[in-house]
């Protein structure tokens, strides 16, 4: 079983839609959770960083972590064509390296 799993998509939504991207993880020791955004032919860039369970909001983006179900979510409100990218979730323990999921490809259609 992979430590971090996510549906690769592709996911296609109309502009303005609310997008929900999800990940599951298997290591109960994970305490730090991240979402990276990767545009085509670019390296990933950090979008959201959270510690333990709860919600974190940054503009149109909300990251949610439910440690009881080992479930990580990223919500994008009022999605824009510029949000079209691959979204990678990632997790780590307090002392180990970051483990990345395979990414979900998102297309926002104007």
Token pair for residue 110? 């104007």
Q: Using an 8 Å Cβ cutoff, are 78 and 68 in contact?
A: no
Name the nearest CA neighbour of 86 among 71, 65, 101, 66. 101
Task: Give, as one character, the DSSP assignment of residue 83.
Answer: G
Among 1, 14, 28, 41, binds other proteins (CB under 8 A): 41
Among 32, 61, 71, 75, binds other proteins (CB under 8 A): 32
* Closer Cβ to other proteins, 32 or 71, answer by number: 32
* Closer Cβ to other proteins, 73 or 105, answer by number: 105
Binding site for other proteins (CB under 8 A): 2, 4, 8, 32, 34, 41-46, 49, 88, 92, 97-103
């Amino acid at each position: 079983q992979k430590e971090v799993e996510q549906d690769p998509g592709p996911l296609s939504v109309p502009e303005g839609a609310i997008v929900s991207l999800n990940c599951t993880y298997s290591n109960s020791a994970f305490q730090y959770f991240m979402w990276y955004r990767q545009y085509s032919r670019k390296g990933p860039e950090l979008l959201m960083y959270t510690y333990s369970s709860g919600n974190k909001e940054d503009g149109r983006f909300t990251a949610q972590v439910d440690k009881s179900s080992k479930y990580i979510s990223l919500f994008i409100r009022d999605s824009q064509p510029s949000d079209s990218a691959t979204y990678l979730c990632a997790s780590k323990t307090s002392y180990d390296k970051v483990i990345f999921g395979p990414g979900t490809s998102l297309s926002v259609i104007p």
